[in-house]
Amino acid sequence: ASLEDVLAQFEAALQHYQQLWDGLDDLDAQAWVIEPTAAPRSVVYRRIALGHHVSLALTLDPAQPWALPLDCRFMGSDAAVAPLRQRLHDNRGCWQAGRLLRENLEAVLGVALPQRQGADAEDASADCAICYAYRLPPAEGQLPAGGEEGESPDINCDNAACGKPFHRRCLVEWLNSDTSTRQSFNTLFGACPYCSAPITVKAVPA
């Protein structure tokens, strides 16, 4: 094959993934992408902020970038996540192949995706409400799991009016410093640092 033929094949291969990249580029530009912060073309995973301290992690199928992602995982308080999960289930039929990924997500979930610099940025933030960081460096003597840069917030206040996210380690330290916190076996029972609603956390992850 001539160099011209090889170039044509290469361009055809790139064109095959153009819809995938267009959708991800639009999402990166128009939504609040929590992670990855700077994704190469090969990464088809995104975690985006939805508001009320809820985020959605999704992984696209490069062979079917127009389809509803099979891997969609909501993160946040149960009270805030439940209606979004129900909408995703009920409105799956509204997903249209001709729309951008962001447009489909907004149509199916019934929400406008917030932007990092928008007026609702504080409400959408996934940063820990104790240390105000997203990634928490590994504890001394520990290696980050799975190649991650550090722990991300994975505990949310279940009060629907609060929903603040916390690193497990930050919350454990906070509750241990509060004399009203009770412990039963490996579980700490205390109050949310922001709204004082009941909150529980494993003192040591299982």
CATH number of the domain encompassing residue 42:
3.10.110.20
One domain, residues 103 and 153: no
Which of 71, 91, 124 terminates a domain? The answer is 124
pLDDT at residue 169, as a whole number: 92
Q: Are residues 16 and 83 in the same domain?
A: yes
Mean pLDDT value of segment 35-64: 89
> Residue 39: pLDDT above 50?
yes
Percent with pLDDT over 70 in the chain: 89
CB neighbour burial string for 47-59, b if at least 16 within 10 angstroms, e if fewer: bbbbbbbbbbbbe
Q: What is the mean pLDDT of the chain?
A: 85
- Tell me, what's the pLDDT at 141? 56
Residue 132 lies inside a defined structural domain of this protein: no
Is 150 a residue whose pLDDT tops 80?
Answer: no
131 within domain boundaries = no
CA 199 to chain CA centroid, Å, is: 21
Q: What share of the chain is helix, strand, coil (3-state, %, to 5)?
A: 35, 20, 50
Q: With 60 as the cut, is the pLDDT of residue 143 above it?
A: no
108 within a domain of the structure (yes/no) = yes
Intra-chain end-to-end CA distance of the chain, in Å: 57
Residue 145: predicted pLDDT: 47
In this prediction, residues 118-140 reach a mean pLDDT of 75
